[in-house]
């Protein structure tokens, strides 16, 4: 039987996303009502972090415990990964002992190599190229606020024709937004400083017909239903910090950008945020911002994802 991994946003179909959004809403409702739900009793999740994390660590760990399972946490520094054990060998060993693996690492190639030697599903918890769990949470959050059907169920059809403005770096988040747009039928308005465009060699980015590029970030925001941004310097690129500060100075989401967006536009940021750099405080702390729902929803959607990868469609 082939193993279902979640390494890129495109690893699931639009129809599977519809299922996941519905499950996440049910799982969230049960959690809020303090209902016990332990479908993953006796299952173990290994989490491997080669980069720092707050949200990803807590959301996967708390989520797995809430589903009745347990968690093993490894970092480069405290495992043999930091002492050059091949990723393929690590995958063979760990996947004989646990039921599911989540990895945050540098190159996408590393997680793909791990997955191809794993006996159990592997989830991408962020690579240099992609951050699919975050976009899963962002879309769920958008639907909670702007796309519930008459029965209060998140309806991905509400994404059709919507415009998401991406202001900032052409990074892992931007790449993943592009993959999601193509799959789910919305458009991304992309504005990045020159030299920081999305990398056309990243699979799925070159082929994507669902984005338009704007020189001026304000033009990207015009009419957008969601405005979103991210740090100027992603993890692993710290050596470029000074150059990036200069290059990105005009790519700070402020009230003038939100002012040209659709009247009911939302603001999102995957966090951690730097007020006064990529976003002004009055935007991230203002009424259009849904960043705290967005962060919380990481846990609910990932619980739905773990349930789906391990048990399939349960009710
Ligand atoms: N958004 C996100 O992935 O946050 P962490 O880096 O804290 O996990
Ligand atoms: N683009 C950022 C996201 C952090 C959650 C990074 O890769 O550091």
Q: What are the pLDDT digits (tens) for 149-195?
A: 999 999 999 999 999 999 999 999 999 999 999 999 999 999 999 99
At 99 the pLDDT is 98
Mean confidence (pLDDT) of the chain: 96
> Which two three-digit tokens encode residue 132?
């699919």
29 is catalytic: no
The answer to whether the CB of 270 is under 6 A from ligand 1 is yes
The answer to whether the CB of 134 is under 6 A from ligand 1 is yes
* pLDDT exceeds cutoff 90 at 203: no
At 29 the pLDDT is 97
pTM for this prediction: 0.98
In the DSSP assignment, the letter for residue 45 is E
How many A from CA of 96 to the centre of ligand 2?
30
Q: Which residue CA neighbors atom 6 of ligand 2 most closely?
A: 234
Q: Which of 134, 179, 288, 302 is catalytic?
A: 134
**Alpha-carbon distance 308 to 12, whole Å?**
11
At 207 the pLDDT is 75
At 209 the pLDDT is 81
Which domains can be identified in the chain, with CATH numbers? Answer: 9-130+295-311 (3.40.50.1370), 134-292 (3.40.50.1370)
pLDDT in tens, 18-39: 999 999 999 999 999 999 999 9
Q: What is the mean pLDDT of residues 41-46?
A: 98
298 is catalytic: yes
How many A from CA of 151 to the centre of ligand 1?
32
CB of 141 within 8 A of CB of 267?
A: no
pLDDT in tens, 72-89: 999 999 999 899 999 999
At 42 the pLDDT is 97
How many A from CA of 47 to the centre of ligand 1?
14
- Pairing of the two strands 122-124 and 163-167: unpaired
The answer to whether the CB of 271 is under 6 A from ligand 1 is yes
Lowest mean pLDDT among 39-48, 106-115, 205-214, 229-238: 205-214
104 is catalytic: yes
Q: Which residue CA neighbors atom 4 of ligand 1 most closely?
A: 55
At 208 the pLDDT is 77
Edge-to-edge strand list for the sheet holding 163-167? 211-213, 187-191, 163-167, 226-229, 266-269
134 is catalytic: yes
Q: Which residue CA neighbors atom 3 of ligand 2 most closely?
A: 234
Q: Which of 133, 208, 221, 270 is catalytic?
A: 270
* pLDDT exceeds cutoff 80 at 291: yes
Give, in order, the Cα–Cα distances in Å from 311 to each of 84, 188, 201, 314.
34, 33, 35, 7
Using 50, 70 and 90 to split pLDDT, how confident is the model at 315? confident
206 Cβ neighbours under 8 A, 6+ residues apart? 200
At 1 the pLDDT is 65
252: left (phi > 0), else alpha (psi -120 to 50), else beta?
Answer: beta
83 is catalytic: no
Ligand 1 atom with least separation from CA of 271: 1
Residues flanking ligand 2, CB < 6 Å: 126, 171-173, 230-231, 234-235, 270
Using 50, 70 and 90 to split pLDDT, how confident is the model at 206? confident
**Alpha-carbon distance 24 to 297, whole Å?**
9
What percent of the chain is modeled with pLDDT above 70?
100
């Amino acid at each position: 039987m082939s193993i279902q991994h979640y390494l890129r946003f495109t690893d699931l179909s639009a129809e599977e996303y519809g299922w996941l959004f519905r499950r996440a809403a049910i799982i969230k409702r049960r959690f809020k009502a303090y209902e016990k739900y332990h479908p993953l009793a006796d299952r173990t999740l290994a989490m491997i972090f080669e980069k720092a994390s707050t949200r990803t660590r807590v959301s996967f760990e708390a989520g797995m415990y809430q589903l009745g399972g347990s968690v093993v946490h490894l970092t480069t520094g405290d495992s043999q990964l930091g002492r050059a054990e091949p990723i393929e060998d690590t995958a063979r060993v760990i996947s004989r002992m646990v039921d599911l693996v989540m990895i945050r690492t540098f190159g996408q190639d590393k997680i793909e190599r791990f997955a191809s030697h794993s006996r159990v599903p592997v989830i991408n918890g962020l690579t240099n190229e992609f951050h699919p769990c975050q976009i899963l949470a962002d879309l769920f959050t958008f639907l909670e606020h702007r796309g519930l059907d008459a029965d209060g169920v998140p309806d991905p059809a509400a994404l059709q024709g919507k415009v998401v403005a991406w202001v900032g770096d052409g990074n892992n988040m931007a790449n993943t937004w592009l993959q999601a747009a193509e799959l789910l039928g919305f458009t991304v308005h992309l504005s990045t400083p020159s030299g920081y465009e999305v990398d056309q060699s990243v699979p799925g980015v070159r082929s994507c017909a669902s984005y338009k590029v704007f020189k001026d970030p304000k033009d990207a925001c015009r009419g957008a239903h969601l405005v979103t941004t991210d740090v100027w310097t992603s993890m692993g690129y710290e050596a470029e910090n000074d150059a990036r500060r200069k290059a990105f100075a005009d790519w700070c989401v402020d009230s003038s950008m939100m002012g040209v967006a659709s009247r009911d536009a939302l603001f999102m940021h995957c966090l951690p945020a730097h007020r006064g750099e990529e976003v002004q405080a009055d935007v991230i702390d203002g009424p259009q911002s849904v960043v705290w729902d967005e962060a919380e929803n990481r846990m609910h959607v990932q619980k739905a994802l773990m349930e789906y990868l391990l048990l399939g469609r349960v009710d």
